[in-house]
Structure 1
């Protein structure tokens, strides 16, 4: 990874900007020259001012600094989540085994995430490993979640099947953490999409635990927050949540129509996952209603 000043110089020259245009009013020209030569560092405040002049976000700067590629941990995380979205359990198993004993903590953490998703959703006997327990403790001990923990939300809910923890408290913590990042004007990190991904898993956890009263009340949670900030993928996740909810607590024929429409959508990344979720919960909802009928 290049020196900070070297990357700034690279971006400045690529954009055809002079040192005066980038640094004026922020640092002196002599300081700027030493910075670009790698002989000086700069405070975070001044760095952000410089990036603003360059028209580059902090995330993009890191991407460029890493030779225009995401870091290895991000690449691996993307591979794991793609395999999960596509219900590709053999690939999840491969990633969990390949990186589970890595000396790189970031790789080992992502391997643990793959193992959690594999164990929770591949219908195998669930066993909580020490790495999974460490991941759980690390996230739950954090008083307020930032984006890293928010992105881990669905994985955290998957761990709920192994831990004696209050689902409602975890849902509340997730939603409160998301609220700090989004408003009616903007959602710069697509937090509402992350929240809906979390809520989809949360609803399934509640139903799996047969906590039907809380699952019924959960629709109110689904419909709160700044839904206007959802992307098309976030809206798709919301419709999937509402379809599952309606099978259990609304009109089944309406849910069947919703499911038919969702199955017709062609979303390459998550199409297999949508079909698997719909098929599973449609059958479970039928069994739920049969049990209710037997009790009458």
Structure 2
């Protein structure tokens, strides 16, 4: 069996239990402490007893342990969707429901709604309005934004009221209000910038899209940030197509970006950018 200590620790912490509470009736507290630190092994029968204290099945535990230390829940959901692994997506959805019911942590609720959104997209349907309203109400209630809020905006930006997304972007990224820079990782903010550029282009707000791209370059563009450089080149290519300056060169720039993303094993990002490029090429008229 793969190392299980960190998975046990995360489960215990999510349920607000102490090591003594988990170990009670199963093993000595000091031994359990060593189990969590992957210093000793335990038998399968002991593991089953521990999982009873967590109220989680062995199947759920093995699923979590297989993916622990690799990707977070949100990334697992996105991977399952883009790789077409519907059974995994269903498992993740059920896990989100269970974790939210037990912990009342809003992150699990939003992860569940993300699963609902991805199922709707797969079936060419719209997400139920009640879920959209729930996200809108949550965002309107905030006086301070965290990393998870930015990630949530990146997940739902294209189904939320457009002007609301632009307003939040202005507050968070241009005005730099209502958050501490330390709370928001560069990667999450970078992705949010690119998502809002997408949104602006889709709504033909080209001047706004170009303004955000310039802000993105000022904030994130340096030779060591391969993702920022690569995707900025992609949008430079889109603007060459959109403004009729050089559609051939623009297409080349965008396609080179997609190749780089694929070579970096960012398959679903590559697919998303490929689809968006085709949308632009199909509908664009010289401006």
Q: Do both share a fold (TM > 0.5)?
A: yes
Partner residue, 2:207 = 213
Partner residue, 2:194 = 200
Q: Aligned pair in 2 of structure 1 residues 235, 125: CA closer, same or farther (>3 Å)?
A: same
Determine the C-alpha separation between the residues in 2 that align with 1:255 and 1:227: 19
Residue 117 of structure 1 deviates from its aligned partner by 4.4
Partner residue, 2:267 = 271
What are the residue-to-residue correspondences of 1:1-296 with 2, within 5 Å?
A: 1=12, 3=18, 75-83=72-80, 86=82, 88=84, 90=86, 94=90, 98-99=94-95, 102=98, 103-104=101-102, 105=104, 106-119=107-120, 122=122, 124-160=124-160, 163=161, 165-175=163-173, 176=176, 180-181=180-181, 191-228=185-222, 231-249=225-243, 251-265=246-260, 266-267=262-263, 269-289=265-285, 292=287
Q: Aligned pair in 2 of structure 1 residues 260, 147: CA closer, same or farther (>3 Å)?
A: closer
CA deviation vs aligned residue, 1:93-131 (integer Å, no higher than 9, x gap): 635754575434454431102223454x55823244323
Is residue 79–residue 268 contact of structure 2 (8 Å, CA) maintained in 1? no
Is residue 193–residue 230 contact of structure 1 (8 Å, CA) maintained in 2? no
Q: Which has the larger radius of gyration?
A: 1
| RMSD (Å), alpha carbons | 4.2
Determine the C-alpha separation between the residues in 2 that align with 1:177 and 1:81: 29
Q: Aligned pair in 2 of structure 1 residues 146, 179: CA closer, same or farther (>3 Å)?
A: closer
Is residue 136–residue 156 contact of structure 1 (8 Å, CA) maintained in 2? no
Determine the C-alpha separation between the residues in 2 that align with 1:96 and 1:129: 22
Which sections of structure 2, spanning at least 5 residues, go unmatched?
1-11, 21-28, 40-63
Q: Aligned pair in 2 of structure 1 residues 229, 14: CA closer, same or farther (>3 Å)?
A: farther
Is residue 154–residue 201 contact of structure 1 (8 Å, CA) maintained in 2? yes
Aligned residues: 227
Determine the C-alpha separation between the residues in 2 that align with 1:137 and 1:195: 22
CA deviation vs aligned residue, 1:165-214 (integer Å, no higher than 9, x gap): 333212123312698426xxxxxx78222122112221222222233332
Normalised to the residue count of structure 2, the TM-score between the two structures is 0.60
Is residue 157–residue 201 contact of structure 1 (8 Å, CA) maintained in 2? yes
Determine the C-alpha separation between the residues in 1 that align with 2:79 and 2:234: 18
Is residue 203–residue 215 contact of structure 1 (8 Å, CA) maintained in 2? yes
Q: Aligned pair in 2 of structure 1 residues 118, 204: CA closer, same or farther (>3 Å)?
A: farther
